A and B are shown apart, each in its own frame.
Chain A
Amino acid sequence: MEVMQLLLSGLANGCVYGLVALGFVLIYKATEAVNFAQGDFMMLGAFVMIGLVNPQYLGMNFWLAVPVALLIMAALGYLLDLTILRFMFGQSQTAVVILTIALGFVIRFVAGVIWGHEPQSLHSPLALGDVRAGGVVLSLADISVIVVTLLMTVLLWQFFQRTKLGLAMQAASQNQMAAYYMGIPVKRVQGAVWALAGVVACVAGILYASKGTLDISSGFIGIKAFAAAVIGGFGSLPGALMGGLIVGLIEPFAARYFPTGYSQIAPYALLILVLVFRPNGLFAQVRVKKV
């Protein structure tokens, strides 16, 4: 029973990591840049939601606020690409990485100015109540996190397989030059990827805020999510999600069965092991190009 309990809460945590990792991989695949502000995107998405829903701010209905928050984050992602990142086109990857790190600082600062530095919790209908089943106690929040993540995965998968824009995103990430030749407006497609990353981050943020309190440094789980993305194999969407789940599962088990403190380093220990033994990640999608 105890194992079951650890497993489920680990899965719920892992789903949030997985969603943030998904954002990393989305942007990496499409633009070959790593967006280190992805965790802060998540934090911002959560705060936007708090700003819309909580009574001391706008006090909107939760379910009404969800699409609004998603839209705001999508627009923000697209605008960031349009106004800043598009001008980095052709610059070295290092420059883009430093830029996104700086972007993270800016987002934390702005969020601090708007919503303050105190921890806050989202008034979420998901945060109420527990479910008991055969000796296992699960918070409704944990269950909804798992369900929503599953749903999100299926939706994203359908989007990439079935829609023209999804296919174009894959094409632009696999062979940018050929995408240009086929008349795909690559820059606009990359903007759409940033918008999508904003949406995914916002979903992760809403789920995260439903599970507990949120403050402006919550975005630092992005580092764990980054580790998750690398463990899963950077560049593979299912890998990112699996990596997130693995990291999420390791933490509670390490906390329970190892001495104090080990749960903090367990994900990174695994990261090192993976980098040594499977440098491309566990679920890598690497294929050598034929000449």
Chain B
Amino acid sequence: MSALLEVRNLETFYGPIMAIRGVSLEVHKGQVVAVLGANGAGKTTLLKTISGIMNPEKGQILFEGGEIQGREPHHVVRQGIVQVPEGREVFPLLTVEENLTLGAYTRNDRAEIARDRDLVFTYFPILAERRNQEAGTLSGGQQQMLAIGRGLMVRPKIMLLDEPSLGLSPLLTQEIFTILRKLNQDEGVTMMLVEQNAAVALDLADQGYVMELGRIVMADTADKLAASEDIQSFYLGHAHEGQRGERRWKKRKTWR
């Protein structure tokens, strides 16, 4: 089966700095793929390159078999790829409902748009309650929900989620991820998820990649990744005392 989204040997620069150093990955239809990594690993840059905000220097991005690298962002959105940006980038002075309307900017099917808005409201009832409130006055968690809901309004074939747990309490993180799981299972939304919170991300994902300094250093099913010793010690924070009691920071990652 060919992948819905395929990235091949992608290289992206921030000025002179090479942020992505030859990344390849695949996302299949209906999957949730998690990309893990620390700050500065290039996760966000990867998403920005896919959604056309940044142009790659080299490599291909294939979506449904067609090359989309270097296209304008609005073209990429029309193809069915939507990025839910990090840090709840809502339109602060517009109401919740207007924010959702703008999510459907690329669409013209009024009836379907209304149906999708109701769908968003069933998944995020709090947004329905606050539909006429300015988005800037919502709490952080509600803004994150709005950002996800607004992304759904595109009716995307794939959703690129950038750190949905950023700045949220553990409880809210759980709530958001429960909803994401439901969206994936019930609505069949394919997702590519970038996270620092490896535990929740691997719990939701089918497939996982680990990025470090612009490269993919591990790739496996989410279960295997969660079980691997490297991930456990470096991302999940389980301490494994060795026989001689050597400390965690003395250990080397297997890929180094």
Residue from A170, A180, A183, A287 with most neighbouring chain B CB atoms (10 Å):
A183
Give CA–CA (A180, B72) in the complex, Å: 9
Residue from B53, B74, B167 with most neighbouring chain A CB atoms (10 Å):
B74
Is B56 in the interface zone, CB < 8 Å from A?
no
Task: Take A175-B89, A181-B53, A185-B74 as given contacts and tell me if A164 and B94 are in contact as well, using a CB distance cutoff of 8 Å.
Answer: no
Task: Take A168-B105, A181-B51, A289-B136 as given contacts and tell me if A175 and B72 are in contact as well, using a CB distance cutoff of 8 Å.
Answer: no
Smallest CB gap from B47: residue in A: A181
Is B42 in the interface zone, CB < 8 Å from A?
no
Task: Take A182-B154, A290-B136 as given contacts and tell me if A175 and B90 are in contact as well, using a CB distance cutoff of 8 Å.
Answer: yes
Smallest CB gap from B150: residue in A: A182
Which of these, B73, B103, B140, B167, contacts A180 with CB under 8 Å?
B73
Chain A residues in 8 Å Cβ range of B154? 182-183
Which of A262-291 touch B at CB < 8 Å? 285, 287, 289-291
Contact status B92-A164, CB under 8 Å: no
Give CA–CA (A175, B90) in the complex, Å: 7
Contact status B90-A180, CB under 8 Å: no
How many whole Å from B146's CB to the nearest CB in chain A? 11
Contact status A181-B93, CB under 8 Å: no
Residue from B73, B94, B101 with most neighbouring chain A CB atoms (10 Å):
B73
Task: Take A167-B98, A180-B73, A184-B105 as given contacts and tell me if A175 and B140 are in contact as well, using a CB distance cutoff of 8 Å.
Answer: no
Task: Take A183-B154, A290-B143 as given contacts and tell me if A174 and B78 are in contact as well, using a CB distance cutoff of 8 Å.
Answer: no
Which of B49-95 touch A at CB < 8 Å? 51, 53, 72-74, 76-78, 82-85, 87, 89-94
Contact status A170-B94, CB under 8 Å: yes
Contact status B94-A174, CB under 8 Å: yes
Which of B152-186 touch A at CB < 8 Å? 154, 167
Contact status B53-A184, CB under 8 Å: no
Give CA–CA (A98, B85) in the complex, Å: 34
Which of A193-220 touch B at CB < 8 Å? none
Give CA–CA (A183, B102) in the complex, Å: 9
Is A178 in the interface zone, CB < 8 Å from B?
yes
Contact status A167-B102, CB under 8 Å: yes
Give CA–CA (A167, B91) in the complex, Å: 10
Give CA–CA (A213, B136) in the complex, Å: 47
Give CA–CA (A175, B53) in the complex, Å: 14
Residue from A180, A181, A287, A289 with most neighbouring chain B CB atoms (10 Å):
A181
Contact status A175-B91, CB under 8 Å: yes
Contact status A171-B91, CB under 8 Å: yes
Give CA–CA (A112, B103) in the complex, Å: 47
Give CA–CA (A168, B98) in the complex, Å: 10
Which of these, B87, B103, B136, contacts A182 with CB under 8 Å?
B103
Is A177 in the interface zone, CB < 8 Å from B?
yes
Contact status B89-A178, CB under 8 Å: yes
Is B24 in the interface zone, CB < 8 Å from A?
no
Which of B88-114 touch A at CB < 8 Å? 89-94, 98, 101-103, 105-106
Contact status B74-A167, CB under 8 Å: no
Chain A residues in 8 Å Cβ range of B51? 181
Give CA–CA (A179, B83) in the complex, Å: 11
Give CA–CA (A285, B62) in the complex, Å: 43
Contact status B94-A290, CB under 8 Å: no
Contact status B102-A175, CB under 8 Å: no
How many whole Å from A112's CB to the nearest CB in chain B? 40
Contact status A178-B72, CB under 8 Å: no
Give CA–CA (A238, B53) in the complex, Å: 33
Smallest CB gap from B99: residue in A: A171
Smallest CB gap from B83: residue in A: A181
Chain B residues in 8 Å Cβ range of A177? 53, 85, 89
How many whole Å from B162's CB to the nearest CB in chain A? 10
Which of these, A164, A170, A289, A290, contacts B105 with CB under 8 Å?
A164
Chain A residues in 8 Å Cβ range of B98? 167
Which of A228-254 touch B at CB < 8 Å? none
Smallest CB gap from B162: residue in A: A181
Residue from A164, A174, A285 with most neighbouring chain B CB atoms (10 Å):
A174
Chain B residues in 8 Å Cβ range of A164? 101, 105
Which of these, A168, A185, A287, A289, contacts B102 with CB under 8 Å?
A168
Smallest CB gap from B153: residue in A: A182
Chain B residues in 8 Å Cβ range of A287? 92-93, 136
How many whole Å from B117's CB to the nearest CB in chain A? 14
Task: Take A175-B90, A285-B93, A287-B136 as given contacts and tell me if A181 and B85 are in contact as well, using a CB distance cutoff of 8 Å.
Answer: yes
How many whole Å from B241's CB to the nearest CB in chain A? 38
Give CA–CA (A220, B173) in the complex, Å: 56
Q: List 11 A-B contacts (CB under 8 A).
A: A167-B101, A170-B94, A180-B53, A180-B74, A181-B51, A181-B82, A182-B77, A182-B106, A183-B78, A183-B106, A183-B154
6 extra interface residue pairs, beta carbon distance < 8 Å, beyond A175-B90, A182-B150, A184-B102? A175-B89, A178-B89, A178-B91, A179-B91, A181-B89, A289-B136
A-B residue pairs, 6 tightest by C-beta: A183-B77, A178-B89, A183-B106, A183-B74, A185-B74, A180-B73
